[in-house]
Chains A and B, each alone.
Chain A
Amino acid sequence: MENTDKSLIDAHCRGEREAFGQVVRRYGGSLLGYLTKMSGSRELAEDLFQETFKRVHEKAHTFRGGRLGPWLFKIATRVALNGLQRRRRLRVVSLDQQLDCAEGRNKESGAAAVADNSCEPSEEVIRAEQKEQVRQAIELLPEKQRAALVLAYYQQLSYREVAEVLGCSIGTVKTQMYRALRTLAQKLPDVSGETK
């Protein structure tokens, strides 16, 4: 039978190392995705990821049960916001993000096009460009708006859970979300591939 989140955290508190490994494996992917979208850089996200789980380890005894996901996202959000504040200067010019993008673009335009014969290479290139535009549009959002959007849209948390994670009211979350979407509506590429 699969262990519940609470039993895993309890086991970890008792010193069972494997339990924490299960938590990392269970939630690692979504947390890493969240941190990557928040930071715009895979490398930075991995640093934040480690820091997040370090804090989870330190605060494990404060987990009172319920859904572990929002609790983890709450810690990750604090870590990410603190981390990004320190690296604010890097945000616009994040080398790794650009590297990731550049590498990603190459991979998609090359390897993916070869692997998937149904797609024209040019379509793959356009798709990669669009992806890059979306990534940049999200990255340019203010941090709170970005967090609300990523949590609600990509991580599929309810607005109530997002409010819990961000430590604010549901109304505030909806306002942040609307502002984020309003900005994105101006910047997101059309499906035809053209940008406003």
Chain B
Amino acid sequence: MKGHLTERELIEYQFKLASEGLAERMAGHLQECGKCRESLERLKQKFAALDLLREDFEVSEDLISQVLEQVSEPVKSKVVSFRRPAWIGAAAAVLLVGSLLLVAQLRKSSGPARESVRGPIARQDVAQPAPAYKPLPMERKPFGKAAKDEGRGAVEGLAGVRKRGLAEEQIPEQPPFAPASAIELVVLPRRENVQITIYNSADLTLVRERRNLTLKKGWNWLQFMWANTLIDPTSLHLEPLEQRDKIDIQQLVFPARLRELGRWLIRSEVGGQVPFEITYFTSGLSWRAFYMGTLSADEQKMKLQGYVRVANNSGEDYENAQTRLIVGQVHILDEIAKLARRQYPYGSPLPRAAGIGGRDYAWGLREEDREKVPLLGDELLVGGLFRDAKRFHRKEIRKEGLSEYFLYTIEGTETIPDKWGKRLLSFEEDEIEVKSLYKYDEERYGQQTIRFVSFANDEEHNLGKTPIPNGDVKIYGLADREGHLSYVGGTGIKYIPVDEEVELNLGPARLVEVEPTLMGFKTANYVFDRNKDIAGWDEIRTWKIEITNTRTLAVEIEITRSFGTAYWSLKANIPYEKHDVTHARFKLTVEPRSKRTFDYTVTTYRGVREEALTE
């Protein structure tokens, strides 16, 4: 090889990136060339730093069980591909056509079809084979074309809603008896969209989901299951979003012996697909906010990013959910999780009739609490929840209530599977002007300097659009010119309303030190009483305060000194302010990498000498 190995060649040699022939030639050269061997050694030393990250990672049992939890569904069956002879295709086509003809023949000869739709919450097909099926009263008297239409069921739904007047067909006025089995049920289809509103303070989440239900004209039963979830069955509410004048939600029943399911009775004057909104409360969803601030190099500006972490332990997956978060206290009467786990949504069905139509929501509550039931705003918020409860006093907290807490909406939609947590960016603001201040106050912080960063949640600071919820803040500074960050400090913040100022305590600052030294102490001006006993005196202390700033930036520092008495006077070689009756405060700036010293002499008055100060 000619000349010495280049850095590229050395890297290629060391990491076996070169071809075999080239590697052999390089090895030969290295045997002969001491300089290249030295270069290689240096390179090895350089890359030895990579081994600092060579560490064993242990997977916690929690994480393993979370993984196993999410894979509890059966594995998809294996698909084996094979070459199909041409005759298989032909045979399949013949079979398909034959089957279609057979189905068409059967449809003509049989009565109305039943719904068999998979419901995501039910997670099972609830429609059962029905050998002993008896048509409901309305179905015993089919009216010509209407009977045919009813028989089409979901097929008709795909074609859209058909509007037909009552004059054309009659719907029996008497609702059918609540089915004890799952025959003749409409089961919830997949969600079209879902919105979740998490009230963190009360372990309460309002879920509003939209589903397209296929109804037949007449009476429909709709089944909703909440097994293994934390849904509060007493809060279930169903509302058609179209054809409201032709669809009436009559009642919600909780059949005895069938646990964790409810059935709505719906009277519909139209047949076909209708969008519905289902609202309910659940628990198990929570969120927390946290923030990251990055200070600019001169520490005059800060970039602030707010995050929320949403955790879902509700037992239900929420796909593509619009997520809204409520900050503030919500008053609730019952824990949703307890309601969800009750055997009967409204207590045992035996002594009294169950269902929202049969009793009001405040059943079982103390008398004084009945008036406190919050509706969490208006129909907009809860989709008209509890509208049927006429005795209910609708609290006038809609507007006022909203001023008590604040609603955050996460942009776009998010999928939050059960047992998962998800971190979302809630806001990001650049160029927030901040003020750095160091404080030294032995009474509050001991003998250490504490660093503070302050800013305001207002427009002047590029904020002020919304209040900032409670959360932890971590502040980082730029460690070098390449943009690497270094951790400066962290603290928790409480709810910051708009236009309020916030001061973040970032903890002890090691690079700015304050060292007070007592330079002199004497007593003077003794006063004696009649008995020649001491009745008063002055104590005079001289202090030297030395501030050391080893940072590369000038710092502003506030030093608070306590005198332990309200009777004191002070002489200092720098300005000070009387902070309160027993404290004085000095504010000064210390240049980068420098020391600054000041002195003060404080005289405290004891006994009758206290009067000398007032005089």
A binding-site residues for B, Cβ under 8 Å:
12-13, 15, 17, 20-21, 24-25, 28-30, 32-33, 36-37, 43-44, 46-47, 49-50, 53-54, 57-58, 60-61, 89-90, 92-93, 95, 98-99, 101-102, 105, 127, 130-131, 133-136, 138, 152-154, 159, 174, 177-178, 181-182, 184-185, 187-191, 195
A29 touches B57 (CB 8 A): yes
Given A57-B71, A61-B78, A29–B59 Cβ distance below 8 Å?
A: yes
Option from A61, A90, A127 in Cβ contact (under 8 Å) with B77: A61
When C-beta atoms are compared, the residue in chain A nearest to B65 turns out to be A21
Given A178-B11, A178-B12, A127–B52 Cβ distance below 8 Å?
A: yes
Given A61-B75, A178-B12, A90–B63 Cβ distance below 8 Å?
A: no
Instruction: Give CA–CA (A37, B45) in the complex, Å.
Output: 21
When C-beta atoms are compared, the residue in chain A nearest to B72 turns out to be A17
A-facing residues in B298-326 (Cβ within 8 Å): 303, 305, 307
A-facing residues in B171-199 (Cβ within 8 Å): none
B577 at the interface (CB under 8 A from A): no
Q: Is the interface of A mostly helix, strand, loop or mixed?
A: helix
Instruction: Give CA–CA (A89, B294) in the complex, Å.
Output: 14
Contacts of B17 in A (CB 8 A): 174, 177-178
A98 touches B292 (CB 8 A): yes
Contacts of B49 in A (CB 8 A): 130, 133-134, 188-191
26 contacts between A and B (CB under 8 A): A24-B68, A29-B57, A30-B57, A33-B56, A37-B53, A44-B423, A53-B71, A54-B71, A57-B73, A57-B75, A61-B79, A89-B428, A92-B483, A98-B476, A131-B53, A133-B49, A153-B15, A177-B15, A178-B15, A178-B17, A181-B11, A185-B7, A185-B11, A185-B43, A188-B46, A191-B48
B binding-site residues for A, Cβ under 8 Å:
7-8, 11-12, 15-17, 43, 45-50, 52-59, 63-64, 66-68, 70-79, 290, 292, 294, 303, 305, 307, 420-423, 425, 428, 474, 476, 480, 482-485, 487, 490
Contacts of B48 in A (CB 8 A): 191
A24 touches B59 (CB 8 A): yes
A181 touches B59 (CB 8 A): no
When C-beta atoms are compared, the residue in chain A nearest to B12 turns out to be A178
Instruction: Give CA–CA (A35, B8) in the complex, Å.
Output: 28
Contacts of B70 in A (CB 8 A): 50, 53-54, 57
Instruction: Give CA–CA (A169, B75) in the complex, Å.
Output: 32
Nearest-neighbour CB distance to chain A for B555, whole angstroms, equals: 22
Instruction: Give CA–CA (A21, B70) in the complex, Å.
Output: 12
Contacts of A136 in B (CB 8 A): 484
Other A-B pairs beyond A12-B75, A93-B305, A101-B487, 9, CB < 8 Å: A28-B63, A61-B79, A95-B290, A131-B52, A138-B53, A153-B15, A182-B8, A185-B43, A185-B46
Option from A15, A43, A134, A184 in Cβ contact (under 8 Å) with B52: A134
Instruction: Give CA–CA (A73, B342) in the complex, Å.
Output: 45
Contacts of B72 in A (CB 8 A): 17
When C-beta atoms are compared, the residue in chain A nearest to B68 turns out to be A21
Determine which residue in B55, B305, B482, B484 has the highest number of CB atoms from chain A within 10 A of its CB, and name it.
B484
Instruction: Give CA–CA (A153, B17) in the complex, Å.
Output: 12
Instruction: Give CA–CA (A101, B485) in the complex, Å.
Output: 11
Instruction: Give CA–CA (A189, B479) in the complex, Å.
Output: 14
A190 touches B45 (CB 8 A): yes
B294 touches A53 (CB 8 A): no
Nearest-neighbour CB distance to chain A for B367, whole angstroms, equals: 48
Given A89-B425, A93-B294, A102-B474, A188–B67 Cβ distance below 8 Å?
A: no
Instruction: Give CA–CA (A43, B17) in the complex, Å.
Output: 34
Instruction: Give CA–CA (A32, B128) in the complex, Å.
Output: 45
B487 touches A98 (CB 8 A): yes
Contacts of B8 in A (CB 8 A): 178, 182
When C-beta atoms are compared, the residue in chain B nearest to A153 turns out to be B50
B50 touches A98 (CB 8 A): no
Nearest-neighbour CB distance to chain A for B579, whole angstroms, equals: 33
Nearest-neighbour CB distance to chain A for B210, whole angstroms, equals: 25
Contacts of A24 in B (CB 8 A): 59, 64, 67-68
Instruction: Give CA–CA (A43, B49) in the complex, Å.
Output: 24
When C-beta atoms are compared, the residue in chain B nearest to A54 turns out to be B70
Instruction: Give CA–CA (A102, B428) in the complex, Å.
Output: 22
B64 touches A95 (CB 8 A): no
A28 touches B64 (CB 8 A): yes
Nearest-neighbour CB distance to chain A for B74, whole angstroms, equals: 6
Contacts of A185 in B (CB 8 A): 7, 11, 43, 46-47
Contacts of A188 in B (CB 8 A): 46-47, 49-50
Nearest-neighbour CB distance to chain B for A151, whole angstroms, equals: 13
Contacts of B52 in A (CB 8 A): 127, 130-131, 134
Instruction: Give CA–CA (A182, B480) in the complex, Å.
Output: 20
Nearest-neighbour CB distance to chain A for B229, whole angstroms, equals: 20
When C-beta atoms are compared, the residue in chain B nearest to A128 turns out to be B52
Contacts of A191 in B (CB 8 A): 45, 48-49
Instruction: Give CA–CA (A172, B480) in the complex, Å.
Output: 33
B75 touches A60 (CB 8 A): yes
B76 touches A43 (CB 8 A): no
